[in-house]
């Protein structure tokens, strides 16, 4: 079985993102870029499935310009067998990304498409759901546990009401939540080895190209600020303040 893993290059989660003063976007010059944290978790899970003997090959996929090769190399260093860059210089909408994953899943005959539940830049939380819909295959989003048993997967999902469990036939789309696992650290020799692993570049048009009318993004603004309030000296003062404001 092959597992396709989505790897999105995104601003590192430790960076405090700032809106550009002209409102045209967010500041990305000189900002640290990383693998979207949910995608690292997705890749870790794929590697564990392979290490348990339940998959033969883990393929990392990123859609973007040549910069994404950096994140694909990180994925290879973590242990993926090969990488595919779907090349485009354009800003992408989740529907286009989903079409790419569907096309690649069919081309590769993938058993699982493992994505992050959400990219921490656009915070869309859509690609997995859209891929499952277009592909007509099971959709197990927000996974905190995945058990592969032959031709099925049992997936525990983090939902508002608690933990939901689904049994799905493979092939299927699974998206990772934070508690699925703790990704491994990359070791230096692995980085060297990763340089020799295959990385194919495929043009976006070969896999369907852009999907439909995209929403246009306009001005970016900083959120309404919350400012520092008052500090109180002890519990009595805290309770008095709460009572004064009619909150308790």
Partner 1 sequence: MTNKILILAEHDGATLNPGTAKAVSCAAAITEHGGGTIDILVLGEGIDGVAAQAAAVAGVNAVLVTDAAHLAPPLAVNHGPELAAAAEGYSHVLAPSSTYGKDVLPHAAALLGVNALSDIMAVEGARAFKRPIYAGNAIVDVTVPDDVIVCGTSRSASWPTAAEGGAGAVQARAATSQRAAHTRYQGLAGAGGDRPDLQTARIVVSGGRALGSAENFEILYRLADGLGAAVGASRAAVDAGYVPNDMQVGQTGKIISPELYLAFGISGAIQHITGIKDAGTIVAVNKDADAPIFEIADIGLVGDLFTVVPEIEQQLS
Ligand X SMILES: Nc1ncnc2c1ncn2[C@@H]1O[C@H](COP(=O)(O)O)[C@@H](O)[C@H]1O
Q: CA–CA distance from 214 to each of 69, 95, 96 (Å)?
A: 25, 9, 9
Tell me which stretch binds partner 1 (CB under 8 A): 66-74, 76-84, 199-207, 214-222. 214-222
Residue with tokens 């525990």: 156
Q: Which tokens go with 176?
A: 């990772």
d(CA 211, CA 121): 20
Taking the CA atoms of the chain, what radius of gyration do you get in angstroms?
21
**Among 120, 133, 147, 199, interactor with ligand FAD by CB under 6 A:** 120
* Residue 36 contact among ligand FAD, partner 1, ligand X, none, beta carbon within 5 to 8 Å by kind: ligand X
126 binds ligand X (CB under 6 A): yes
* Minimum CB distance to partner 1, residue 209 (Å): 14
Phi-psi region at 208: left, alpha or beta (left = phi > 0; alpha = psi -120 to 50): left
75 binds ligand FAD (CB under 6 A): no
44 binds partner 1 (CB under 8 A): no
d(CA 242, CA 245): 5
13 binds ligand FAD (CB under 6 A): yes
**Among 12, 33, 154, 199, interactor with partner 1 by CB under 8 A:** 154
Q: How many CB atoms lie within 10 A of CB 75?
A: 31
* Minimum CB distance to ligand FAD, residue 14 (Å): 8
Are 165 and 29 in contact by the 8 Å Cβ rule? The answer is no
- Which residue number, 62 or 181, has a Cβ lying nearer to partner 1? 181
116 binds ligand FAD (CB under 6 A): no
Under rule CB under 8 A, which residues in 13-42 are in contact with partner 1? 13, 16-19, 26
178 binds partner 1 (CB under 8 A): yes
Under rule CB under 8 A, which residues in 103-122 are in contact with partner 1? 117-118, 120-122
* Residue 6 contact among ligand FAD, ligand X, partner 1, none, beta carbon within 5 to 8 Å by kind: ligand X
Under rule CB under 6 A, which residues in 64-123 are in contact with ligand X? 64, 92, 94, 97, 115-116, 118-119, 122
**Among 6, 37, 79, 116, interactor with ligand FAD by CB under 6 A:** 37
Q: How many CB atoms lie within 10 A of CB 191?
A: 14
186: CB partners within 8 A, 6+ apart: 74, 77, 78
Under rule CB under 6 A, which residues in 152-211 are in contact with ligand FAD? 178
d(CA 214, CA 119): 18
Are 47 and 80 in contact by the 8 Å Cβ rule? The answer is yes
**Among 28, 70, 125, 154, interactor with ligand X by CB under 6 A:** 125
d(CA 229, CA 233): 13
Binding site for ligand FAD (CB under 6 A): 13, 37, 120, 178
């Amino acid at each position: 079985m092959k597992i396709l893993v989505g790897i999105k290059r995104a601003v590192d989660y430790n960076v405090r993102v700032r809106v550009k003063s002209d409102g045209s976007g967010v500041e990305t010059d000189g900002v640290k870029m990383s693998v979207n944290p949910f995608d690292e978790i997705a890749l870790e899970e794929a590697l564990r499935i392979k290490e348990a003997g339940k998959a033969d090959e883990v393929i990392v996929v990123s859609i973007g310009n040549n910069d994404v090769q950096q994140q694909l190399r990180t994925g290879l260093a973590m242990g993926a067998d090969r990488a595919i860059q779907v090349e485009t210089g354009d800003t992408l909408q989740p529907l286009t990304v989903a079409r790419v994953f569907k096309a690649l899943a069919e081309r590769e005959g993938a058993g699982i498409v493992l994505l992050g539940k959400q990219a921490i830049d656009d915070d869309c939380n859509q690609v997995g759901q859209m891929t499952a819909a277009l592909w007509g295959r099971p959709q197990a989003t927000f996974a905190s546990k995945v058990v592969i048993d032959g031709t099925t997967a049992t997936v525990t999902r983090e939902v508002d009401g608690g933990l939901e469990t689904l049994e799905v036939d493979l092939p299927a789309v699974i998206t990772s939540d934070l508690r699925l696992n703790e990704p491994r650290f990359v070791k230096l020799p692995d980085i060297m080895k990763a340089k020799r692993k295959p990385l194919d570049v495929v043009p976006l048009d070969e896999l369907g190209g852009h999907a439909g009318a995209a929403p246009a993004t306009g001005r970016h603004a900083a959120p309404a600020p919350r400012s520092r309030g008052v500090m109180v000296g002890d519990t009595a003062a805290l309770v008095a303040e709460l009572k004064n404001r009619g909150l308790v």
